[in-house]
């Protein structure tokens, strides 16, 4: 069993997290142009994606001080 160090970051997981964050940003931008109910759904999904991205960063071994804030 290996331990994750600050120098060993899983770049594949970090890339997935980055994609999730971009998708969340896109959903939040789209939400502004939608009716209230659908906009709320888009913002909720964006928050879920941001949380998933945060979890992926933690699993990838990103040092705590470099983690993005989860929604």
pTM of the model: 0.81
Whole-number pLDDT of residue 1: 41
Q: Above 60 in pLDDT, residue 2? A: no
> End-to-end alpha-carbon separation of the chain, Å?
32
Residue-range domain boundaries for the chain: 11-60
CB-based contact 23:63 (threshold 8 Å): no
Of the candidates 60, 57, 27, which has an alpha carbon nearest to the alpha carbon of residue 44? 27
Q: Above 80 in pLDDT, residue 39? A: yes
Phi-psi region of 56 (alpha: psi -120 to 50; beta: other; left: phi over 0): alpha
Whole-number pLDDT of residue 69: 74
């Amino acid at each position: 069993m290996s331990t994750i160090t600050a120098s060993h970051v899983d770049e594949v997981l970090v890339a997935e997290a980055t994609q999730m964050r971009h998708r969340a940003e896109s959903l939040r931008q789209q939400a502004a142009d939608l009716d209230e109910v659908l906009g709320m759904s888009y913002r909720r999904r964006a928050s879920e994606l941001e949380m998933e991205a945060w979890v992926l960063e933690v699993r990838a071994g990103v040092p705590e001080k470099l983690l993005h804030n989860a929604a």
